[in-house]
Structures are given as structure tokens and as C-alpha cells.
Amino acid sequence: MREDWQTLVAHDDKVMLEGVSLNAKGISLSLREGGLPIIEVRPQALPTYRVQLPDAAYSLYVQDTLEFDSDKIRLRYQSLNRPAQVRQLTLASGEQVVLKETPVLGTFDADAYVSQRLWATASDGTQVPISLVVKRELAGQATPLYLYGYGAYGESLDPWFSHARLSLLDRGVAFAIAHVRGGGELGEAWYRNGKQEHKQNTFGDFIACAEHLVAQGLTSAGQLVISGGSAGGLLIGAVLNQRPELFKAAIAEVPFVDVLNTMLDPDLPLTVTEYDEWGNPQEPEVYARIKAYAPYENVTAQAYPAMLVIAGYNDSRVQYWEAAKWVAKLRATKTDDNPLLLKTELGAGHGGMSGRYQGLRDVALEYAFIFKVLQIAE
């Protein structure tokens, strides 16, 4: 009977419940608050608490287990400065033990780097989270900075560890993620306020994050490199049109830059299924809305930063010609002499070349481009 029900987890507009894990000794709630995953533990007959973690920007989830009669759970954890770990948590005490950590070659020390959580203010007053990692000795100083963004489909960019990224950090380059609207980091409303008629919020949020990093003295326009892929490439293309002077260089991977023409062609593989995200431009008001931000449509005679554009010849999601025609229009229109490079991977699809070593070569190309533009020595 409904009158016998008990409320275990009350609704909270600021907290999203993503999952529940149960064993004989308690309940573990997987929450998302302030853009970060949180594990709240409710052990039997003991006070509720939240799991404490060593870093400010991280990924976290409860690992599935087949053992119900246990007083422990296992957590999967990683951060911008700490490789993936399996942590065992004792429910009653909250004590954690690291059972396994992904090894990193060389003399790696996670505490030689520091992760931070920052907040930028968008033009409409919305607070936008930023995750950042930098070499500890450079924290709070102006450094070259690599800013990454996506902001589509409700995807959450929880901070992740990268072995390759150490090459950037050790050369004094900070790395940051702009958790812009259109993603899912702050819940369903965060996603909905960055799609269709609200898509400009995604671009405005990213610009606000870049401006905040500059205003806080953490970087400068002459040191700021931005990057995004697929729908994140659309983000990069849009902000380059709107605020090109804010950035030193940009990397766009398999960029969805010809949004209008692609969404007008229902014979392409994903067009019809994408109407929910972008709208159907067969409708006049949607056509005008997409045209107002589409990167290809809005290339103008102005100076653009140095750019590296990467496409996949076999990409069925974002056709290779989108990047090619965008680059051609940029070359014919822009007023600067900054490098504008296009690489089309003839054996690649949307996810790039297959194979571990080829993936590392792709990262090496991007980093070489960054170091060249920023004039960072090998």
C-alpha cells in the first residue's frame, strides 16, 4: 500500500540520482551534483556520508559486484592527475584502500600535478564549471593552456587521466575542460539549455570559460589553444567565428561544421535521427537558427588563429567533405597568414585510425602542432 512507503531519497533539484547499489550492509547512491559524480553511502544504523576523494576534478562510479553479503564496495576512480584506480571502501567506516592502479611508465608522481575546479560566469549569469590540471609548481601562474569542449547530446565530460597528456603538462601546458551547456554534467536542464533553440548557450559558455581563465591570470589569448571533435568540432568552429582574437590556435577533429547542409539532406545516415538535437531546417525558423551559428555559413573576412583540422575519409557520421569545404572557405576568406592545416585520414572513420600506435601518432601530431604554434621547445 502506498501509505506504507518510506522516502529513502528525497527529491532535490540540484542533485541528479544516476544509480543505486545495494548490499547487506547498506545502500550506495550514485549522484551528480555541481557537475561532479558523488557517491553517498547509507550504511545500516549509521550516519549517511559522502565518499571523500583526493582530487578536485575526477571520474567516479560504483563497480558492479556479485557479492551481496559484504560490508564493502568497490569504486572505479580516476582524475586529471591520477590514473585509473580500483578502490575498496568499507561502508561502516568510510576507509578506502587502493587495490589496483593503472601503471604509468617512468618516474610518475600524481601529486606533482594538481587538479582544480573553477567556475566561469556566462553572459546570462549561469555558472559554468571548468576542470583544470597543471603542474603543481605552476599552479596559479599564467601558462599555455589547452581548453577542450564538447557540449552536445547530454554527454558528460567527467575528467579523465591521460598518459599522453603528461607530455603537455611536463612542458608547462595546463589542460582544462569546459563543461558547457548541451552536456549532461549538471543534469537534464543543462542539456536542454544547450540544444536546438538554446544552442548558442554552448558557444557562449565556452567563450565565458576562456575569458575566465584569462581574467584569472591562468593564461592569455596568446597562449590559449582550443580543441573539440565531432559536435565539439562544431563548437570550435562556432567560437572561432564569434571570438577569433581570444585564441592562439585551434584543433578540430572530424568537425561537424556544415550543419545546415547536412541537416537539409535526409538521405545522409544520421540526419533524421539528429532532428531532436539540432532541429529540422526544413522549418523556416529552424533554418534561420542553424544558419546563424553554423561554422561554414559564418566564415567571414577576419583574422583566425592557427588551425589543425582532421577528417576521416570513411567517416559515416561527419562526412569528410565537411572539413574539406570549411577549410577551403577559410583559406579563401580569412585575412591572416596563420597556418591552416587539413589532414584527411584515408583509412579512418569517425573515431580515427584503429590501433594503439596509430592513435599515439595522431596525438603526437596534435601536440607537435601545439608546441610549434606556442613555440615550446622539444
- Residue ranges with strand state E in 53-182: 58-62, 72-79, 82-90, 96-101, 113-121, 127-135, 145-149, 174-178
Query: Mean pLDDT lowest for which of 217-226, 238-247, 265-274, 363-372?
Result: 265-274
Distance CA 117, CA 58 (A): 10
197 and 275 assigned to the same domain: yes
Picking from 40, 70, 101, the residue at the C-terminal end of a domain is 101
What local confidence, expressed as pLDDT, does residue 162 receive? 96
Share of the chain above pLDDT 90, in %: 83
- Residue 179 exposed, middle or buried by CB count within 10 Å (0-12, 13-18, 19+): buried
If pLDDT is split at 50, 70 and 90, which confidence band does 313 have? confident
Catalytic: 115?
Answer: no
Question: Is the residue at 200 inside a domain?
Answer: yes
- In the predicted model, is pLDDT for residue 298 greater than 80? yes
The grid cell for 84 is 585509473
Note the pTM of the prediction, 2 decimals. 0.95
- In the predicted model, is pLDDT for residue 301 greater than 90? yes
If pLDDT is split at 50, 70 and 90, which confidence band does 315 have? low
What local confidence, expressed as pLDDT, does residue 317 receive? 76
Average pLDDT over residues 322-332: 97
- Please name which of 232, 126, 133 lies closest in space to residue 173, comparing C-alpha atoms: 133
Catalytic: 227?
Answer: no
Question: Is the residue at 217 inside a domain?
Answer: yes
161 and 21 assigned to the same domain: no
97 and 128 assigned to the same domain: no
Question: Is the residue at 316 inside a domain?
Answer: yes
pLDDT digits (tens, 9 = 90+) for 213-262: 999 999 999 999 999 999 999 999 999 999 999 999 999 999 999 999 99
pLDDT digits (tens, 9 = 90+) for 124-177: 999 999 999 999 999 999 999 999 999 999 999 999 999 999 999 999 999 999
Catalytic residue among 315, 316, 354, 362: 315
Question: Is the residue at 313 inside a domain?
Answer: yes
**DSSP states of 124-158:** TS-EEEEEEEEEGGGTTS---EEEEE---TT----
If pLDDT is split at 50, 70 and 90, which confidence band does 308 have? very high
Question: Is the residue at 6 inside a domain?
Answer: no
Chain mean position to CA 50: 25
The grid cell for 205 is 559558455
- In the predicted model, is pLDDT for residue 288 greater than 80? yes
255 and 121 assigned to the same domain: yes
253 and 236 assigned to the same domain: yes
If pLDDT is split at 50, 70 and 90, which confidence band does 351 have? low
Whether residue 87 contacts residue 101, with contact meaning beta carbons closer than 8 Å, is answered with: no
Distance CA 272, CA 90 (A): 49
What local confidence, expressed as pLDDT, does residue 111 receive? 96
Picking from 101, 123, 141, the residue at the C-terminal end of a domain is 101
If pLDDT is split at 50, 70 and 90, which confidence band does 314 have? confident
pLDDT digits (tens, 9 = 90+) for 194-206: 999 999 999 999 9
* Mean pLDDT for all residues in the chain: 94
If pLDDT is split at 50, 70 and 90, which confidence band does 297 have? very high
Catalytic residue among 70, 163, 220, 350: 350
Distance CA 272, CA 263 (A): 8
- In the predicted model, is pLDDT for residue 14 greater than 90? no
CA count, 13 A, side-chain hemisphere, 6: 1
Query: Bigger pLDDT: 362 or 210?
Result: 210
- In the predicted model, is pLDDT for residue 264 greater than 90? yes
133 and 42 assigned to the same domain: no
What local confidence, expressed as pLDDT, does residue 210 receive? 99
Domain that holds residue 20: 15-101
Question: Is the residue at 3 inside a domain?
Answer: no
- In the predicted model, is pLDDT for residue 347 greater than 80? no
Structural domains counted in the chain: 2
What local confidence, expressed as pLDDT, does residue 50 receive? 96
95 and 202 assigned to the same domain: no
- In the predicted model, is pLDDT for residue 13 greater than 90? no
What local confidence, expressed as pLDDT, does residue 349 receive? 58
Catalytic residue among 28, 205, 230, 362: 230
170 and 310 assigned to the same domain: yes
68 and 144 assigned to the same domain: no
- In the predicted model, is pLDDT for residue 370 greater than 90? yes
Share of the chain above pLDDT 70, in %: 97
Q: What is the CATH number of the domain that holds 126?
A: 3.40.50.1820
Average pLDDT over residues 6-32: 90
Catalytic: 350?
Answer: yes
175 and 58 assigned to the same domain: no
Residues in the chain: 378
Question: Is the residue at 48 inside a domain?
Answer: yes
Chain mean position to CA 315: 21
191 and 47 assigned to the same domain: no
Average pLDDT over residues 322-346: 95
If pLDDT is split at 50, 70 and 90, which confidence band does 64 have? confident
Question: Is the residue at 82 inside a domain?
Answer: yes
Picking from 57, 82, 101, the residue at the C-terminal end of a domain is 101
Name, in order, each residue with C-beta under 8 angstroms of 285's C-beta and a sequence gap of 6 or more: none
85 and 140 assigned to the same domain: no
- In the predicted model, is pLDDT for residue 49 greater than 80? yes
The grid cell for 188 is 537534464
- Ramachandran quadrant class, 151 (left: phi over 0; alpha: psi -120 to 50; beta: rest): left
If pLDDT is split at 50, 70 and 90, which confidence band does 352 have? low
